[in-house]
Amino acid sequence: MRVRSPAVAGTFYPADPDLLVADVERCLNAAENAPDERQARVAHQTRSAKALIVPHAGYIYSGPVAGTAYAPLRLRRGEIERVVLLGPSHHVPFRGLAVPSVEAFLTPLGAVALDRSVLAGLRDFSQVCVLDVAHEFEHSLEVQLPFLQRILDTFSLVPLVVGNASPEEVAEILEKLWGGPEMLLVISSDLSHYLDYAAAQQLDRETARHIEALRYEALGEDTACGRVPVRGLLLAARRRGLSVVTLDLRNSGDTAGPRDRVVGYGSFAFR
């Protein structure tokens, strides 16, 4: 079986399976043990979510914000059978959306099988290409997998790394993959990068307002590293009449880093 091996195990998250489980569970448990009113609100919004936006930095930094989005999905264990996962390309410039040729993605927690029939169907779209090099070192998709492996039963994965693409091109692929309650859509994106704490808070709050209002046109280059797939999701959500709620909005100055130069993280649920 042809597989993609982990690229950032041991850097973004632990390579040891036991340590990795402990880290993921710590992030999930922190969300589940939040104050009752907040925990209940987040759980209500997420249990019926069709799509999520989740950050993708090292777990020490963005893991707690990711945990806020993922923890309520434990209650949908057994319901969600396929995860469509989109993230930006941090290393390889290319045009369109890239699918891999492998059959599974590996993490320290085991193999996640790709839905090869679904991926094969995407090759009919002109904006989709087979480009393994776009996936080889990309962390934006990889860091989501241990969370998904812990909260779901067996599921298949449809991974797409997004390069230079229009909102319409991304939305067209999302429409093709939309499915029913068995399919969860996850967009992997951080928010602002390397501003001071106060400036990051201000920009990230503005970005969250644009996301909640489905204003994909308002997301500029400084708002989110995953703005291209996020824009596509906002367009698709607007067409389908979805509503969006901000689940968590913090930055690395809140979690594990200094406050002079931070990265912003947000988790959002689409219902």
For 193-216, write each residue's pLDDT tens digit.
999 999 999 999 999 999 999 999
Nearest by Cα to 82 from 222, 238, 186: 186
In this prediction, residue 38 carries a pLDDT of 67
For residue 33, what pLDDT is reported? 84
Mean pLDDT calculated for residue range 17-32: 96
In this predicted model, what pLDDT tens digit does every residue of 113-124 receive, in sequence order? 999 999 999 999
> Which is more confidently placed, 219 or 41?
219
Q: Which of 146, 136, 139 is nearest to 101 (CA)?
A: 136
Q: How far apart are CA 231 and CA 89, in angstroms?
A: 15
pLDDT in tens, 32-87: 887 766 666 676 677 789 999 999 999 999 999 999 999 999 999 999 999 999 99
Q: What's the confidence (pLDDT) of residue 117?
A: 97
pLDDT confidence of residue 40: 66
| Percent of the chain surpassing pLDDT 70 | 97
pLDDT of residue 257: 86
- Mean pLDDT on 184-195: 98
Distance CA 197, CA 149 (A): 33
| pLDDT for res 32 | 86
217, 235 contact by CB (below 8 A): no
User: Residue 54 is inside which H or E element, if any?
Assistant: strand 51-54
User: Which residue, 63, 36, 41, is CA-closest to 269?
Assistant: 41
The two structure tokens encoding residue 237? 């959500």
Domain containing 223 equals 3-254+262-270
Residue 110 region by backbone torsions, left for phi larger than 0, else alpha for psi between -120 and 50, else beta = left
Q: Which two tokens stand for residue 173?
A: 């692929």
Mean pLDDT of 87-96: 97
pLDDT score of 115: 98
Number of domains, the chain: 1
CATH number, domain of 156, equals 3.40.830.10
Residues 6+ apart with CB under 8 A from 256: 60, 61
Per-residue confidence (pLDDT) for residue 168, from 0 to 100: 98
Kindly state the tokens that stand for 45: 């919004």
Mean pLDDT, all residues of the chain: 96
Buried b (16+ CB within 10 A) or exposed e, 224-253: bbbbbbbbbbbbbbbeeebebbbbbbbbbb
Tell me how far apart the alpha carbons of residues 168 and 258 are, in angstroms, rounded to a whole number.
Answer: 38
- The structure's pTM equals 0.96
Residues of 90-106 as b/e, b for ≥16 C-beta within 10 angstroms?
Answer: eeeebebbbbbebebbb
- Coil vs helix vs strand at 252: helix
